[in-house]
Amino acid sequence: MKKIVLAMTFALSFLLSFSQTYSLKGYVCDALSKEPLPGAIVVLGPNEIYAVSGRDGAFSVDLPGKTPHTLEVRFTGYELLTTSIILTSDTVLHFHLETTSYSLNEEVVPGKNGHGRLLSA
């Protein structure tokens, strides 16, 4: 019985050494002003692990090492940043997001009141 327990303990410790995780920490900021972007969403695939940056733009997540991860950084009004990483140790990354330049056209919608007359804008 003692030999079985010893063998199981050895096998489990061996498996745990292969499933090593590393800490990925990072900062998300504006590319021009270098101001932090609180609330930026960091998505790590294929398991879609999410992290959200704090007030100082910092985020932290633990990931299994030595496997490729696709990393996406998203923030409203900024371009999507996508990169691929393989962690071999604890890592700190800095992400600088570029603003988007979408412009909207003005639309005028005429309306009628209850008497069938057009309302002036």
* Paired tokens of 31: 């590319």
Segment (H or E) for 111:
none
Is 81 in contact with 95 (CB distance < 8 Å)?
A: yes
Put simply, whether the predicted model's pTM sits higher than 0.75 gets the answer no
In the block, tokens 């959200």 appear at 52
Homologous superfamily in CATH for domain 20-97? Immunoglobulins (2.60.40.10)
Closest CA to 54 of 80, 92, 28, 32: 28
How confident is the model over 16-75, as pLDDT tens digits?
555 688 899 999 999 999 999 999 999 987 778 899 999 999 999 988 878 888 999 999
